[in-house]
Structure 1
Amino acid sequence: MKIKLGVKTCLLFILTLFIWVPLWMLFTGSFMGGDELYKYIWSVLNQRESMASWTGFPRYPTLRHYVELLLDSPEFFVMFWNSCIQVIPVLLGQIGIAVPAAWAFARFEFKGKKLLFFIYMILMVLPFQVTMVSSYLVLYRLGFVDTHLALILPNIFSTFPVFIMVKFFKEVPKSLIEAAKLDGAGEFIIFTRIGIPIGSPGILSIITLGFLEYWNAIEQPLTFLVRRKELWPLPLYLPDISSDNAGAAFGASVIMMLPALLLFLYGQKYLEQGIAASGLKE
């Protein structure tokens, strides 16, 4: 048993290294000078057949790349603010729409409920590439193309948060709801005082999942914000960085990763509960 446990531990440690090595390269590369960084990745930048190399720590650490981004790159701040404008309203809108909708699917019986939920599930599994053309045509007719609303409105009505929250709300004991009704509580009070507190782990999990998805979105901004690059979010800042300024790309990647990483670490427990409730582990 001890030998098996040791082998499993070694395998997990090796797999962990494969995951963390790129992140370590990204972090250390953001503190390297331009000449030092170019020495390690010149073969990749110049598309040579030779292998790139790396070192564990920067030989001459510098904060120059972060200074350039935070003090001398106004376009970086514009794109960071664009990401905030496009992500935060989506999360708030999903809470305001998906949570009540999930409560209705979980607690009420109405005509066409199964069919409607089946349609929700079909929409959930459809990738963006399938609905891209139809979504563009609808947004174009509404005049929302090349505006922040082109990214906000479609994502607010995402069906995946509804699917997760239905699983949580179905776990609410019927005896608890019946007891609340006997005490004179109406449906709104039951939803706000019982449903939301019990479903709070699910709400936090959809916030975490949604933030990770929309904060790193690339395809939707490229599709719906073609003519107005000043509205582009932060993920589209990195492709515009040239090979001569690769250090800025490393620094921008670190800054972009920090909000998602901090939110993930905070909501990891709730995220696990959301994944377990949705059945994704299977």
Structure 2
Amino acid sequence: MRKKLTFLFLLLLSSVVFLPLLIMMSSSFMGTSEIIKHYGAVLIGTGGSVQFSLIPEFPTLKAYLELLFDSPGFYVMFWNSCRQVFGILFGECLVSIPAAWAFGRFEFPGRKALFTLYMVLMIMPFQVTMVSNYLVLDKLAMMDTHWAIIMPGIFSTFPVFIMTKFFRSIPRSFIEAAKIDGAGEISIFLKIGLPLGLPGILSAMILGFLEYWNAMEQPLAFLKTKTLWPMSLYLPNITTEQLSVAFTASIVMMAPALMLFLWGQSYLEQGIEASGLKE
């Protein structure tokens, strides 16, 4: 009986989480007039009450066709997102992995203080560092370019925090055995550190993708030219006459993040577990 009650309670909680997703998916197959009929009281203030519907009365693919075949601006923003997000992730690999290896495997003066500084910077919200980032980017003539989004992301401290935990968990006996066999530091890093630390690297990259794929504040603050905007800023520019396209764009935008999350769920769990370990 207790297990059944627990199951029902968890099912109720999960339904609260998945209900908005189901509504968004079903609405993407509705026409604009049907969406207004059901949700106009909330979306455009038509008055009355909301009428939830998970099954479209007149299913249509018009919104998908309009978005995918008649919305060139959507593709421009899609490729902007790809360029910015993958540029950040590539840069994070070049910067964060060696930094995390150094924090995880070497003892040097000021290591704990520097790592503490990393953690302090990690918990600072974007609003705190926005002005300083703006001044630096303006000085480097990177404002209103893709680099205005990529450069601050490359030097994010969060990937270093996650990866350091994994590199530190590598048994020291592996390192000592490799040194006895004559392996140098670079060889140890490439042949032992990277393979054994791969779950941490993938965890940090997945979390980074999810964060920057949905970023809105950074593009709004650093990009003035709309042709440089990422896909996350496409939805706020859709008019009320294209409500069905808005739901469809939400589904299309969510799909890559959802597939990546499902693929890397085990790595994310390992990353969350490692981030909770004490020094």
Aligned to 1:195: 193
Q: Select which of 231, 239, 243 maps to 1:242.
A: 239
Amino acid at match of 1:260: A
Unaligned regions of 5+ residues in structure 2, if any? Answer: none
Matches within 5 A, 1:53-202: 53-202=51-200
Query: Could you tell me which residue of structure 2 aligns to residue 4 of structure 1?
Result: 2
Give the conservation status (yes or no) of the 8 Å contact 2:100–2:167: yes
Equivalent in 254, 257, 262 of residue 260 of structure 1: 257
In structure 2, what residue type is equivalent to 1:113? R
Secondary structure class of the residue paired with 1:31: coil
Return the match for 1:276 from 270, 273, 276: 273
Q: Secondary structure at the match of 2:197?
A: helix
Deviation readout 1:173-223 (Å, 9 max, x if unpaired): 111110000001000111111111111111111111000000000000000
Listed as ranges, the gaps of 5+ residues in structure 1 are: none
**Is 1:40 paired with 2:45?**
no
Q: TM-score, normalised to structure 1's length? A: 0.96
Measured against aligned partners, the alpha-carbon deviations of 1:30-61 in whole angstroms (never above 9, x if no partner) come to: 01122212211121233255321121211111
2:77–2:229 contact (8 Å) kept in structure 1: yes
Give yes or no for the alignment of 1:251 onto 2:259.
no
Q: Which residue of 2 aligns with 1:205?
A: 203
* CA–CA separation in structure 2 for the residues paired with 1:56 and 1:64: 18
Code of the residue aligned with 1:261 in structure 2: it is L
C-alpha RMSD of the superposition: 1.3
Residues 40 and 47 in structure 2, CA contact (< 8 A), matched pair in contact too: no
Q: Indicate the residue corresponding to 2:218 in structure 1.
A: 220
- 3-state DSSP of counterpart to 1:6: helix
CA distance in 1, matches of 2:240, 2:168: 53
Distance 1:124 1:49 in 2: 44
- The alpha-carbon deviation at position 115 of structure 1 amounts to 1.5
- Letter of the 1:242 counterpart: T
Distance 1:43 1:117 in 2: 51
Q: Look up the equivalent residue of 2:91 and give its one-letter code.
A: G
Farther off after superposition, 267-276 or 46-55: 46-55
Quote the sequence identity (%): 56
Displacement of 1:7 in angstroms is 1.1
TM-score normalised per structure 2: 0.97
State the secondary structure of the residue aligned to 1:143.
Answer: coil
Per-residue CA distance 1:214-268 (angstroms, 9 max, x = gap): 000000000000x211100001000111111100000000000000000000000
Counterpart residue type for residue 235 of structure 1: S
Task: Provide the C-alpha distance between the structure 2 equivalents of 1:24 and 1:264, rounded to a whole number of angstroms.
Answer: 18
Please tell me the residue identity of whatever aligns with 2:228.
Answer: L
1:15-34 matched pairs, under 5 angstroms: 15-34=13-32
Do 2:63 and 2:245's aligned partners in 1 also have CA atoms closer than 8 Å?
yes
What letter corresponds to residue 22 of structure 2 in structure 1? W
